[in-house]
């Protein structure tokens, strides 16, 4: 868990390995890049406070929405439904994908992309991640079962990142991968990503997904044993099961690539983890009523705080909002500190991360799934 989540802070190294702080022979171009992306002094107009839910909770500090294009969202959704049917989704499962609004999510979250085929990559992966979360991990009424989750996820990993042939044992695996539309969908979505992005981008997405699965397994164990975690332990797991995974697609969807030394630098990774965690706290806030009503309740930061402090859900909502807002302010500060880095791709990517937070909030605030 990061120092931020633990309630303390620790100074970042002046020049982390792999992330140059100076121009490194680029002359004055670094200064021009920093000036291009730097916000004006004082309040950054890229952020605002937004009411949410029924308005009874304190407002959330959120990046502003960068784009709304309903026609583009509808086109992505149209393509997504055709693709989902080809993957084997039928009946209720197909209907859920058709009405979930994933086209709108990616339109809002990736405002620098106008190409519906590139946006479709993000819609496909988010749709099937959500389906796996609902059907495998979270929703008991859809067949989610804690004891079934780990082996299901193991097969999903083989669907996303194919294993080497193993003679007579490969055919049963191939048959199993073809038998489940979630596995088919994740395999097909990764193939689509690979047509537009490099192997580096593809593996980045795969391995962030697999890290997310480790947290899902922890949740399954907690639900099975009934020994639910303290809020700090849940948050530690949640930071690797956050919208960070969705954010790994920002440059692929945008049609460019952040070089690995920049992408994996500790300061950049910390900024992304903060953004992903802030966005997932928004999800927890919008989901708390649904989560509490499950016959086998899932973990949720609001519920964990309420259990830890033996306080009302309303008070836990206030504390979750305060945590969210602090994390967003810290992302804002970290982003500002990275403006001097002479990488146009990184600067575009960080703006994309900020836009993802704002777009995700707007999607949650307007999506029927999250209305109480």
Three-class DSSP category at 342: coil
- Which helix (H) or strand (E) segment is 292 a member of? helix 266-293
24: tokens are 């490194």
**3-370: what fold?**
Farnesyl Diphosphate Synthase (1.10.600)
Q: What is the pLDDT of residue 140?
A: 65
Helix axes 70-86, 102-109, angle to 10 degrees: 130
DSSP label of 27: T
Burial class (CB in 10 A: 0-12, 13-18, 19+), 345: middle
368: pLDDT confidence band, cut at 50, 70 and 90?
Answer: confident
| Residue entry with tokens 């927890």 | 284
315-339 pLDDT, tens digit per residue, is 999 999 999 999 999 999 999 999 9
Residue 215's SS3 state is: helix
Using CB atoms within 10 Å of the CB of residue 169, give its burial: 0 to 12 exposed, 13 to 18 middle, 19+ buried.
exposed
More reliable by pLDDT, 163 or 353: 353
Interval 85-107: pLDDT, tens: 999 999 999 999 999 999 999 99
Q: How confident is the model at residue 372 (pLDDT cuts 50, 70, 90)?
A: low
Average pLDDT over residues 10-21: 36
């Amino acid at each position: 868990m990061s120092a931020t989540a633990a309630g303390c802070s620790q100074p970042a190294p002046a020049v982390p390995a792999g992330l140059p702080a100076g121009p490194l022979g680029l002359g004055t171009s670094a200064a021009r890049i920093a000036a291009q992306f730097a916000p004006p002094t004082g309040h950054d107009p890229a952020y605002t406070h937004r009411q949410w839910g029924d308005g009874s909770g304190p407002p959330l500090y959120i990046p502003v929405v960068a784009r709304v294009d309903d026609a583009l969202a509808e086109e992505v959704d149209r393509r997504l439904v055709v693709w989902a049917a080809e993957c084997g989704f039928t009946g209720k499962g197909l209907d859920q994908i058709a009405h979930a609004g994933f086209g709108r999510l990616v339109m809002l979250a990736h405002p620098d992309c106008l190409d519906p085929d590139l946006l479709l990559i993000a819609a496909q992966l988010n749709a099937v991640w959500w389906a796996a979360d609902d059907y495998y991990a979270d929703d008991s009424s859809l067949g989610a079962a804690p004891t079934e989750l780990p082996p299901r996820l193991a097969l999903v990993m083989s669907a996303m990142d194919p294993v080497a042939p193993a003679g007579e044992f490969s055919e049963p695996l191939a048959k199993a991968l073809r038998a489940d539309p979630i596995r088919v969908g994740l395999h097909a979505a990764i193939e689509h990503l690979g047509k537009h992005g490099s192997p580096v981008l593809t593996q980045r997405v795969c391995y962030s997904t697999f890290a997310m699965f480790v947290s899902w397994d922890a949740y399954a164990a907690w639900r099975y044993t009934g020994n639910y975690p303290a809020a700090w332990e849940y948050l530690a797991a949640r930071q690797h099961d956050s919208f960070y995974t969705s954010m790994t697609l920002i440059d692929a969807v945008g049609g460019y690539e952040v070089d690995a030394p920049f992408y994996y630098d500790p300061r950049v990774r910390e900024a992304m983890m903060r953004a992903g965690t802030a966005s997932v706290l928004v999800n927890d806030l919008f989901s708390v009523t649904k989560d509490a009503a499950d016959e086998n309740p899932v973990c949720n930061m609001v519920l964990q705080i309420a259990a830890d402090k033996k306080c009302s859900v309303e008070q836990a909502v206030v504390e979750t909002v305060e945590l969210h807002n602090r994390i967003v302010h810290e992302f804002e500060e970290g982003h500002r500190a990275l403006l001097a880095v002479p990488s146009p791709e990184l600067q575009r990517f960080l703006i994309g991360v900020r836009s993802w937070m704002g777009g995700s909030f707007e999607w949650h605030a307007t999506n029927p799934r999250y209305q109480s």
